[in-house]
Amino acid sequence: MSIEAINEQLLRAIGVGVALLDRKTLKFNFHNDTFEEWFGNPDETTTLQDMFAELDIDELNAGLRENRRFTTETKFKKKRRTMVIALDFTAAHEKQREIAVLVCQNITRIRELESMIDSYSTMVERNTREIKREKEQVEKLLLNLMPRSVYEEYKTFGVVTPQLYDPVSVLMLDFIGFSEKVTTLDPGVTVTELNDIYSAFDRIGEQFGCERIKTVGDAYVTVAGVPDPTPDHAKSVANAAIRFVRYLERRNASHPHQWQCRIGLATGSVIGSVVGIQKYVYDIFGPAVHLATQLQNFSSPMEISVQDEMARSLNDLFEMTDQGARMIPGFSEQPVWRLLDNRKTPAGRAV
């Protein structure tokens, strides 16, 4: 760089700090007003390291020697504000003398904007993670309210088309003396007890391919064949019902609070759909639901009542006893069977 070029650069250096240094001694030969305003007034004995103690002189010399240029940044406080200055060193010659041209630019605002962008990016990433986490929580909640295939339809189209499922098998369960428990037990105890029991029922039902539809107080409703058809729907709810009773019997043996259930099983058709707009829930309704509810009312504590049609399909798999013909509201008189906790071998013997 010639001295003419240096002078031209100095003339353009409005708002830019400029200084000339001897390459060997790194002492200041010249500086403009902006440089003096920022860093003070160096005299001829002041060296670069005197003014910028944090500057790596070896690194500077290596950069000027290899690339004839070296850039870095420095920070200092001015009137309680931290300024960031970019230092740009360029090797040059003046009458056989090696010099270094130092150009200083105030990049404080640029760094502040970069910091704001970084903060904004961090905030966006954090918000994205929070939105993703909230979305997963909402999805988990909705999957507790409806089957996955129904949820996928709702998520994709915003509505759920009512579907007729036929045939399916429905299990209706409630607890004996639930109203008395509610009035005598602490509310927290009641909720904790139901949560434990229903969680166990959910695990058992899932094991046998049943889809829990809802719980209403002490009523527990699960179904096999919704939303995915299954040929063994009757067998699925029968196995689940037997395991529900077994679980309660084992639990009662070791818990202070005793729970006695009654269960009704029925096969038939149901309609499944999301009901409601704001407080919506997936529900099923139809003949099989009504019949299972009525059969539940015929059950004694810890017993399982089964409709005649369903009993015939289970006869080769489970032991059952005839409870006699019953007049079921909404249906004709028909036999009602009690499902026993015994499975049959292929030869038809109870085990």
On whether residue 251 sits in a domain, the answer given is yes
On whether residue 115 sits in a domain, the answer given is no
Q: Is 128 helix (H, G, I), strand (E, B) or coil?
A: helix
Query: Who wins on pLDDT, 131 or 6?
Result: 131
Claim to verify: residue 192 and residue 284 sit in the same structural domain: yes
| pLDDT tens digits, 94-113 | 777 889 999 999 988 888 88
Claim to verify: residue 180 and residue 326 sit in the same structural domain: yes
Please report the pLDDT score of residue 10 as a whole number.
52
Cβ pair 70, 64 in contact under 8 A: yes
Please report the pLDDT score of residue 343 as a whole number.
64
Structure tokens given for 220: 């527990």
- Choosing from 106, 129, 146, the residue where a domain stops is 106
- Total domain count for the chain? 2
Q: At 219, which CATH number? A: 3.30.70.1230
Please report the pLDDT score of residue 225 as a whole number.
94
What's the chain's average pLDDT? 87
Claim to verify: residue 164 and residue 277 sit in the same structural domain: yes
Using a cut of 0.85, tell me whether the model's pTM lies above it: no
Res. 320: pLDDT tops 50: yes
On whether residue 131 sits in a domain, the answer given is no
Q: What percent of the chain has pLDDT over 90?
A: 51
Res. 19: pLDDT tops 50: yes
Please report the pLDDT score of residue 301 as a whole number.
94
Res. 79: pLDDT tops 80: no
Claim to verify: residue 97 and residue 220 sit in the same structural domain: no
Claim to verify: residue 180 and residue 99 sit in the same structural domain: no
Claim to verify: residue 163 and residue 295 sit in the same structural domain: yes
On whether residue 261 sits in a domain, the answer given is yes
Claim to verify: residue 51 and residue 196 sit in the same structural domain: no
Please report the pLDDT score of residue 5 as a whole number.
58
Please report the pLDDT score of residue 44 as a whole number.
80
On whether residue 349 sits in a domain, the answer given is no
What is the number of other CB atoms lying within 10 angstroms of the CB of residue 54? 8
Residue 53: pLDDT band (50, 70, 90) is confident
| pLDDT tens digits, 235-254 | 999 999 999 999 999 999 99
Claim to verify: residue 102 and residue 165 sit in the same structural domain: no
Please report the pLDDT score of residue 279 as a whole number.
62
Average pLDDT over every residue of 315-330: 91
Q: At 10, which CATH number? A: 3.30.450.20
Alpha-carbon distance of 251 to 214, in angstroms, equals 22
On whether residue 177 sits in a domain, the answer given is yes
Give the closest residue to 233 by CA, choosing from 220, 222, 241, 223: 223
Please report the pLDDT score of residue 351 as a whole number.
43
Claim to verify: residue 164 and residue 45 sit in the same structural domain: no
Alpha-carbon distance of 294 to 272, in angstroms, equals 20
Res. 88: pLDDT tops 90: yes
Please report the pLDDT score of residue 195 as a whole number.
94
Average pLDDT over every residue of 201-213: 94
Give the closest residue to 214 by CA, choosing from 271, 132, 145, 286: 145
Claim to verify: residue 172 and residue 235 sit in the same structural domain: yes
On whether residue 122 sits in a domain, the answer given is no
Please report the pLDDT score of residue 61 as a whole number.
92
- Choosing from 106, 121, 146, the residue where a domain stops is 106
Claim to verify: residue 87 and residue 198 sit in the same structural domain: no
Cβ pair 21, 50 in contact under 8 A: no
On whether residue 143 sits in a domain, the answer given is no
Give the closest residue to 248 by CA, choosing from 124, 345, 341, 125: 341
- E strand or H helix at 59: helix 57-66
| pLDDT tens digits, 257-289 | 999 999 999 999 999 988 776 667 788 989 999
| pLDDT tens digits, 139-195 | 888 877 788 888 888 888 877 888 999 999 999 999 999 989 888 989 999 999 999
Claim to verify: residue 199 and residue 279 sit in the same structural domain: yes
Half-sphere exposure at residue 100, Cβ-oriented, CA atoms within 13 angstroms:
27
- Choosing from 76, 106, 136, the residue where a domain stops is 106
| pLDDT tens digits, 114-133 | 888 888 988 989 999 998 99
Residue numbers of the domain that contains 212: 159-343
Between helix 187-207 and helix 233-254 the angle, nearest 10°, is 140
Res. 349: pLDDT tops 50: no
Average pLDDT over every residue of 331-339: 91
Structure tokens given for 255: 């818990």
Average pLDDT over every residue of 295-311: 94
